[in-house]
Amino acid sequence: MYKKMAMFFLMLFLAVPFIPATSYAAFPEKPITIMVPYNPGGGSDSSARVMAKYISKYLNNPVVVSNKPGGGGFSEPSRILKTRNMHDGYMLMLLGGINVYPEIFQQQYPYMYKDFKAVGNISLSIGCIAVVKDAPYKTMKDFVEAAKKASTPIKYSRAASGGTSHITPVLLADTYKLSLEDVPYNGDSDAATALLRGEVQVGSANPAALIPHHKNGTIRILAVLSPARLPAIPEVPTFKEAGYELPLTALSPIGIFAPASAPDGAVEKLGVAMVKASKDPEFKKDMEKMSLMPYVIVGEEFNNHMYEFAKVVGPIIKKLGLYK
């Protein structure tokens, strides 16, 4: 009797088609979310929105961007990493260096880089120094020379501690012995608004937050920390062209990450879609409109790039006393 029952259940089991647990051939079957832990309007947010548009196109599936600022950009990634049902490849995170690699910035951190899986990089975070139209500094040289001689530090607005808008003027001050004082704000857009309101004398922010004001004449961008001039503002020199070379020509990759336990198949499909997006002429046009510098690499190449970034930036952070 028991042998017959055992044989019955064995035959029933064998009759059911075997579907590997790791199979992700059908991915994606529902909308994908890219969480951005920064305020809308900045360079990181813009990068996410442009890429989301084209990932959606090449996956033939909705991809939405959700802004969840707070906690210096650490709160929402921490929550996602701890919430297991978000590890299926449908919840992605758009993160810059400080929020994906906190161990090179802090002694105590909520998670580590190994808790993520690198999907693909979108762009490079470009530093930018700007002043209001009636400021006494007409060129980068004017600003640097004034900051060298200032009896009281020149105040500048910036976004998250350790981010591009913070490290750019810190590196400049350290390299050329300038007297500067940073005033932190919640994001690039807020830093730009602070400059417009006269709360600070200088603004440090991603170009995407400053270029509209530069073009309408209310703000003057003095230089960009970038490997080359930005097509949207070809009249603005790079730091190097302005005579002020820094250890890095661009400070931070901006890319998409998933929790480390996300299925490989899903991550690979997302990477393929990102590569297709990068070759789309309309993608390049949209990035240029947002004053973003595209730099799309995926998978292991992106992962290796992140390790190299940490090797360069980590020691600089500690040298400048920003490691806390």
> d(Cα 18, Cα 12) in Å, to the nearest integer?
12
Backbone angles phi, psi at 184, to 5 degrees: -75, 145
**CB 35, CB 80: distance < 8 Å:** yes
Has this prediction a pTM greater than 0.95? no
Residue-level pLDDT, tens digit, the chain, 324 residues: 545 544 444 444 444 444 344 445 789 999 999 999 998 988 889 999 999 999 999 999 999 999 999 998 999 999 999 999 999 999 999 998 889 999 998 888 999 999 999 999 999 888 999 999 999 999 999 999 999 999 999 999 998 777 788 889 988 998 999 999 999 998 889 999 999 999 999 999 988 889 999 999 999 999 999 888 988 899 999 999 999 998 777 767 899 999 999 999 999 999 999 999 999 999 999 998 887 888 899 999 999 989 988 888 888 788 878 777
Sign of CA dihedral 236, 237, 243, 246: positive
Residue with tokens 């500067």: 180
